[in-house]
Structure formats: structure tokens, C-alpha cells
Amino acid sequence: MPISEARVPTRRPGRYLTQLGRHAQAIGHRPGHGGHDAGGASQPHPRMLRVEQSDTTATLEFDRGRCTLDAEPDALVLRIEAPDATSLAQLERLIGSDLERFGNRDQLTVTWHRSDDHRDGDPDHHGGEHDRHGGDHDHHGGDRDQHGGDHPHGPGDAHAQGGDHGHAHRHGGVWGRVRHALVPHSHDSADRVDTALENSRRGVRTLVFSFLALSATAVVQLVVVLFSGSVALLGDTVHNAADSLTALPVGVAFVLGRRAATRRHTYGLGRAEDLAGVVVVLVIAASAVLAGYAAVRRLLDPQPVHQLWVVAAAGVIGFAGNELVARWRVTVGRRIGSAALVADGLHARADGFASLAVVLGAAGVAVGIPLADPVIGLAITVGIAFVAVDAARQVFGRLMDAVDPGTVAAIERAAAGTDRVDRAYDVRVRWVGHSLRAELAVAVDATLPVGAAHRIAHEVEHRLIHAIPRLAAAIVHTEPADAGPAHRALAHHRTAAAPA
Ligand SMILES: [Zn+2]
Ligand SMILES: [Zn+2]
Ligand SMILES: [Zn+2]
Ligand SMILES: [Zn+2]
């Protein structure tokens, strides 16, 4: 049985062992894992069957072959056994390229050494250099670079439909693919996929909880407003009611955003989140106008405030309700990577302090300053107005496709770092709901066949998905260093469209 071994010196062998084992478990190297379709076309990829793993050793069992990994103190030692040379070469490429990608920062290099007695009559073996990188087999001619039917392009698969990459997960099948496409996920390991599923449920649950908690707070406060006549408390109540209502459109966006793309909505309905954001801004602005109007009227026409202790208690309840919601939102938002939820949480925290101002107003009235109540009411209104402006800025940024410029730089860096990519540029990236989609161009060797260039494009996409948080898909345009002639024909259509 052909055997190949690699000794990879590293200070963190255990870490890479764990990472590789998890990746194998999560993905299974089947046809359809977009980043790993570089194998021979003559034979389908080895299929992942089983992973056994401890802290220092792991065994990846494939239908044609097996890889054992051992974490030694200063190196990760890999050993592949396969029934034939082709399977051996495929496993070398799959495992080697994954490990090199994981170890990119430590500049890990995997060099395979085959047992000498198997060198003869091995058509696939050209010595270490060529077998390390799946894409380097252009010298085999045509059939190496064709799809051989195992590339996941075509109707009915996740890659073509959702723009999502075609990882086939352990749970496999149609349901697995649908789930992979619909649920926000990190695909590095099986447990995180499950956690991601749990997370999105937690996200919705958090919204429901926030809605209930803030509604209850507002109802209790409203009762106190009615018999006390405090406009400061009115402002706080209106604010809390508006905030609880904001959960409704966001909840709708969560549900709609997970719908699959259709031929009418080819990017899915993720942008419902932005629309919901516009509604939120309008609701907050309207609540600011209402609270401001009440406070100004009271300044012009002072009225007594009754039951000051109860008003103060209602302020404390407002603080407690908001702080509870804030903690819940920030924690869950950070975990599922929803900036919107984190921002909502910080907002609720600020609101909690606005509620405490109601207590201050009641104290002022108690010591003989009746204007304290409407003044605090106005201050709360100003607070609501700031919140509205801030939310508006964020939502309009989304509507105008604004992203963090650092994300663009990170995409350029990760793409340019891909094997055989000379340059990466013309990056466009935007949010659709809470995932990012990117387009970019990469310069490659002009003499590469289409198949090889296509593989590079998907390697770039795969690297980006791993490197850029929340990136769901990237469309990569490969072109030769001198793309001038092809681009000149289009030049008169491209005035201000391209980013600098
Ligand atoms: Zn608020
Ligand atoms: Zn493709
Ligand atoms: Zn991957
Ligand atoms: Zn081009």
C-alpha cells in the first residue's frame, strides 16, 4: 500500500491537529467542497468517512485511504496510506493545502515523502514539489483542468443558487445544503455549525424577550404617568414603548433575511433588515417629537406632579428593564456577530440612564423645583433625538453600501496572498442583511487554461470566506496582468464606476 509522510515543524502542533480534525469533520472532502476541487478528473475525490481525535493524535478515515496525525513536541507528523497512487496524491493535496492554509500565519509548508519502494510505476508521482499544490498540474494537459463533473456548478446546488460555497457537511444531503445556505454559520468546525444554528434561534429569542421586557416596562410606566402627570416619565415611557416596537420590524427582517433567494430576489431578502432599520428610525424620531411637545407645553403651562415616590419607582423600573435588555442583546449580538443587536443593546443601556433621570426630576420637584420635571422631560427628548440621528446615520450607511475600509484592505491582502495570484484589486463589497458579499479582480498568469484560472478564483473565494468575518460569497474575476486590450472595448462605459 503506497505511503506518504510529512513532518511539519511548528511550535503549535496540537492546535493544527485539532483544527485539521475539525475541518475534516465539518466538511468531509467530497466533491462540492469548492476550495478543494483541484484533484484529478480521472477519479472522484476520496470521501471522508470518520474522524477519531484526541489531543495528540487523530485519524482521518477516507473511503480510499487514511491519514494519521501525531502532535510531537515540535512538529506535526502526518502519514497517509492509500490503496493506489492516485488516491494517495489526492489525499496529499487535500490535507496539505488545508494545513498550509490554516498555518498561513506561521508559514507552514507541507512536504510529502513517499516510501521509496512505491516510486516505480506511479503515474501520479512527480516528486514533492508538484504534489504539494493542487493547482500545479497544468503539465498534464487538458483533462487535469477540466471539471470532470465533480465541480458543484449547476442547478440545484448551494454554490450556484445562493452564491454560497458548496461545502458538503457531515449531515450532507439536500437538507444539509439548504441549512448551510440559510443559517448564518462559520464553517470551520462541526460544533460551530451547530452553535450557529443555536445562535440564530437565540437571536430571535433575544428579540422576543426584549420586546416583552420593554413593553412590560412601558405599560407599568404608562400607568404611573396617567395618575402622576409627570412629563419626564411620559418622555421615558414613550421612548421605551418606541424601543420595544422597534423589535417588531427587526424580527420580521430576521425571518425574511433567512429566506432562500428566488429568481425575483436573486440576493435573497437580507436587505429587509435595512428596510426595518428605516422604520426604526422613523418610530424613534416620532417618539422624540411627541415627548418634546409634552415637555415644552408643561414648561409654558406648569402643572403639579403627584405621587413623587411612585414616579421615582417607575424611573427605577425603567432603568432595570433597559439594563436587563441591554445585557441580553449585547451578549447574544456579539456571539452571533450581529452588529445591529449589539448596537441595540448599547442603546438600551443608555436608555437605562435616561430612566434614572426621571428619578432625579422627581427629587427636584420634591425639594421645591417644579420645573425639574419638564426640564428632565426635555433632556430625555434630546437624548432620543441623538439616538434617532445615530440610527439614521447607520441605516443610511447601509443603504449607501458603506463598509469599513479596513474590510476592503483585508480582502485585498487575503486575495493577493493566494497561491499564483499576482495582484488583487477593484474590490467591491457590501452588506446584504448581516452577511457581506464581495466582487474583486485578481491578476494571474496569462497562459493559464480556463480550468486552472477558475480553480484559482475559487481558492481566492475560499480564502476570503475563511479570512473575512461575515463574508458569505465573493465573485472573483481572473484576468492577465495585461488586461488592457479586453478592457479597452468597455472603457467608454466605465466612467466613475470603479473604485480608486
Ligand atoms: Zn431608546
Ligand atoms: Zn465556479
Ligand atoms: Zn472552508
Ligand atoms: Zn477583466
Name the DSSP letter for residue 53: E
Domain holding 258: CATH number?
1.20.1510.10
Range of the domain at 340: 190-399
Residue 214 CA to ligand 1 centre (angstroms): 10
User: Same structural domain for residues 271 and 147?
Assistant: no
CA 251 to chain centre: 19
User: Same structural domain for residues 392 and 434?
Assistant: no
Residue 180 lies in a domain: no
Q: What is the pLDDT of residue 181?
A: 37
Residue 177 lies in a domain: no
Residue 153 CA to ligand 2 centre (angstroms): 6
- Tell me the DSSP string of 457-496: HHHHHHHHHHHSTTEEEEEEEEEES--HHHHHTTGGG-SS
Residue 427 CA to ligand 4 centre (angstroms): 13
Ligand showing the shortest atom-to-Cα distance for residue 238? 1
User: Same structural domain for residues 141 and 207?
Assistant: no
Residue 450 CA to ligand 3 centre (angstroms): 23
User: Same structural domain for residues 394 and 423?
Assistant: no
Residue 38 CA to ligand 2 centre (angstroms): 12
Ligand showing the shortest atom-to-Cα distance for residue 383? 1
- Calpha distance 74→171 (Å, rounded): 35
Residue 461 CA to ligand 3 centre (angstroms): 10
Residue 276 CA to ligand 3 centre (angstroms): 32
Residue 192 CA to ligand 3 centre (angstroms): 13
User: Same structural domain for residues 206 and 318?
Assistant: yes
| Ligand 4 ion local residues (Cβ < 5 A) | 479, 483
| Interface predicted TM-score of the whole assembly (ipTM), two decimals | 0.85
Q: What is the pLDDT of residue 11?
A: 77
Q: What is the pLDDT of residue 170?
A: 37
User: Same structural domain for residues 366 and 384?
Assistant: yes
Residue 172 lies in a domain: no
Domain holding 446: CATH number?
3.30.70.1350
- Span 288-306, average pLDDT: 87
For the segment 21-32, what is each residue's pLDDT rounded down to a tens digit?
Answer: 877 776 654 444
User: Same structural domain for residues 137 and 209?
Assistant: no
User: Same structural domain for residues 17 and 145?
Assistant: yes
Least confident of 81-85, 186-190, 208-212: 186-190
Residue 466 CA to ligand 3 centre (angstroms): 6
Ligand showing the shortest atom-to-Cα distance for residue 440? 4
Residue 185 lies in a domain: no
Q: Structural domain tally of the chain?
A: 3
User: Same structural domain for residues 133 and 246?
Assistant: no
Count of all residues that appear for the chain in the document: 500
For the segment 384-414, what is each residue's pLDDT rounded down to a tens digit?
Answer: 788 788 778 888 888 899 999 999 999 999 9
User: Same structural domain for residues 221 and 312?
Assistant: yes
Ligand showing the shortest atom-to-Cα distance for residue 187? 3
Distances (CA, A) of 322 to 30, 238, 352, 447, 491: 49, 13, 5, 62, 55
Does position 18 have pLDDT exceeding 60, yes or no?
Answer: yes
Residue 159 lies in a domain: no
For the segment 332-390, what is each residue's pLDDT rounded down to a tens digit?
Answer: 877 876 766 777 788 888 888 889 989 999 999 989 888 899 999 998 888 778 878 87
User: Same structural domain for residues 489 and 395?
Assistant: no
User: Same structural domain for residues 80 and 209?
Assistant: no
CB neighbours (10 Å) of residue 98? 21
Cβ contacts of residue 176 below 8 Å, gap of 6+? 168, 169, 170
Cβ atoms 48, 62 nearer than 8 A? yes
CA 247 to chain centre: 22
Domain holding 104: CATH number?
3.30.310.50
Residue 372 lies in a domain: yes
Q: What is the pLDDT of residue 242?
A: 79
Residue 297 CA to ligand 2 centre (angstroms): 65
